[in-house]
A = this chain, B = another copy of it.
Amino acid sequence: MTTAAPVPSSRDLPHPARGEIRLEGVLHALSDPVRMRIVRELAAAGVALSCSQFDVPVTKSTSTHHFRVLRENGVIRQVYEGTAKMNVLRRDDLDELFPGLLDSLLAAAAHQADRRNET
């Protein structure tokens, strides 16, 4: 019935269902510094951000790759809005599957970043 809804622009992207998200996959996704940085920016923002709004030290095609890894491992959700691809953390799904994990990871990342900036 193609209700009005958001109409996210025809092209949809494959996401794992909540139950398909695997811990190893999440950890692997976050074990790359670039991807961890993306997730941290996303968590700090609290709202959806387009891919181009992130400050990552790689080219656009590499960036695309990292966003895909995050999506395929269930860490983020991506939706097209016009030419922009909007990204949000799958916080609800992750919190339900692994209570407290995401916050611990973000805190650990922040903690480590702090230690580096001091000294």
Contact = CB atoms under 8 A, between A and B. Distances in A.
Interface of A: 19, 22-25, 27-28, 30-33, 36, 97-101, 103-105, 107-109, 111-112, 115
B31 A112 contact: no
Given A28-B28, A31-B31, A104-B104, A23 B109 contact: yes
Number of copies: 2
A99 to B, nearest CB: 7
A101 B108 CA distance: 7
Contact of A107 (B99, B103, B109): B99
B97 A107 contact: no
A108 B30 contact: no
Nearest to A27: B31
Contacts of A111: 97-99
